[in-house]
Amino acid sequence: MAINQLMKEKVLQDFQRNFDEEPTIVRSPGRVNIIGEHTDYNNGFVLPAAIDKAVYVAVSRRNDDAIKLYSGEFDESFETSLKTLKPTDKGWPNYILGVVDQLIKRSYPIRGFNLAIDGDVPIGSGLSSSAAVECATVFALNELFKLGIEKKELPFIGQKAEHTFAGVMCGIMDQFASVFGKKDHVIKLDCQSLDYEYVPLVLEGYKILLLNTNVKHSLGSSEYNTRRAQCEQGVAWVKEHHPEVNSLRDVNMEMLHKYVQPKDEVIYKRCKYVVEEKERLLTGCEDLKRGDLKALGKKMFETHDGLSKEYEVSCEELDFLVDAVRDNPDVVGARMMGGGFGGCTINIVKEEAIDGLIDQLEESYRAKMGMDLSAYIAQIENGTSLLS
């Protein structure tokens, strides 16, 4: 597993400088998603994978109810107690405190603890640094207090922490990918049954290139929750005629034409994107299994167009980066990734063309947007693990 030894050392030093003990150290990765965006909370499929960028936490027990946190990334401390847990304006502690709150609500016997956190998942990049923090925390506290929580429960505790302490009504994809990631594989996850299959990610001469817009538009979380509510409204209108329908998973285009389009054109567009994306993922996954990267890449562009024009969660910077590679023969597919309104595009690019492409895009992005672009080649790695 690609453990960033420097990061591990840094979190250990941060911990010992602040708390002066031998900690338990856990790594939990960020994720990419090949195709299947905004399908998880609609009970569809997703195709994510854990990457080599991760969050590291170091924890030790306390004999009281205090929670003492230190973030290396922000060089900030935060203190509270098990008795007075609530979301804070500070931001970063919420992903940790939300997990603690869930453990208490589920009656797990935890005590106070010290925790230092650091990582190399760029924040706000659409690579799910928040899910990585939640999963690292729940995994570490499970170890530290010997709570006996089964691995398959961990992502759900992280997801609920995000709902309650960060206010984002996210699906399960990010936390699931962080915990269950497998080196060189993507996870085909059915978000309804929660069955999953590991599919080898064979890219023969191509690599996954992430291009970070370095913007995170503030509407991200409120618009995310609005999209989720719009999908639920569409389902409710269909359900009036088809009581067996419980989510967009059960809905087809004919139902949308009949029962949603006449009521609201915007909600129709949102639902149409999701219904089409469900299909794109299933066929795209078959393309990947057959090694037909061209066919998969074409679907990635279609996903982007749906996210941009119908689901309307893209932004100028993301559209610019996708349009800039659309006709490039060395790029088989590209699209915005994650919740939207900023963050990264995911690109499948011929290995030898990567350096030239980055140089070219850095220049044109700067000229057009007046900002720097960051580029990373994502390696697919294992999920959450105990380092020491």
- Residue 229 makes CB contacts below 8 A (sequence gap 6+) with none
**Residue 219: count of CB within 10 angstroms of its CB:** 14
Touching ligand GLA, residues 83-142 (CB under 6 A): 128
Which span (63-71, 114-122, 171-179, 260-268) binds ligand GLA, by CB under 6 A? 171-179
Q: Residue 126 is which amino acid?
A: G
Are the C-beta atoms of 211 and 373 separated by less than 8 Å?
yes
| Among 281, 270, 285, 282, residue whose Cα is nearest residue 303 | 281
Q: Where are the beta strands (DSSP E) in 205-364?
A: 206-216, 331-336, 342-350
Touching ligand GLA, residues 20-79 (CB under 6 A): 37-38, 40-41
| Among 131, 203, 181, 200, residue whose Cα is nearest residue 161 | 131
Is 220 near ligand GLA (CB under 6 A)?
Answer: no
Is 270 near ligand GLA (CB under 6 A)?
Answer: no
| Among 176, 162, 161, 205, residue whose Cα is nearest residue 48 | 176
What's the closest the beta carbon of residue 335 comes to ligand GLA, in angstroms? 11
What's the closest the beta carbon of residue 156 comes to ligand GLA, in angstroms? 12
3-state secondary structure at position 69 = strand
What's the closest the beta carbon of residue 20 comes to ligand GLA, in angstroms? 36
Which one among 93, 339, 342, 383 touches ligand GLA, defined by CB under 6 A?
Answer: 339
Which span (98-106, 165-173, 297-305, 352-360) binds ligand GLA, by CB under 6 A? 165-173
Q: What is the DSSP secondary structure assignment for residue 380, as one 8-state letter? A: B
Which one among 173, 260, 336, 357 touches ligand GLA, defined by CB under 6 A?
Answer: 173
Which one among 119, 155, 338, 342 touches ligand GLA, defined by CB under 6 A?
Answer: 338
Active site residues per annotation: 174
- Residue tagged 């960060």 (tokens): 166
- Residue tagged 């299959």 (tokens): 197
**Tokens found for residue 254:** 């004919």
Is 227 near ligand GLA (CB under 6 A)?
Answer: no
Is 248 near ligand GLA (CB under 6 A)?
Answer: no
Which one among 14, 174, 310, 381 touches ligand GLA, defined by CB under 6 A?
Answer: 174
| Interacting residues with ligand GLA (CB under 6 A) | 37-38, 40-41, 128, 170-171, 173-174, 338-339
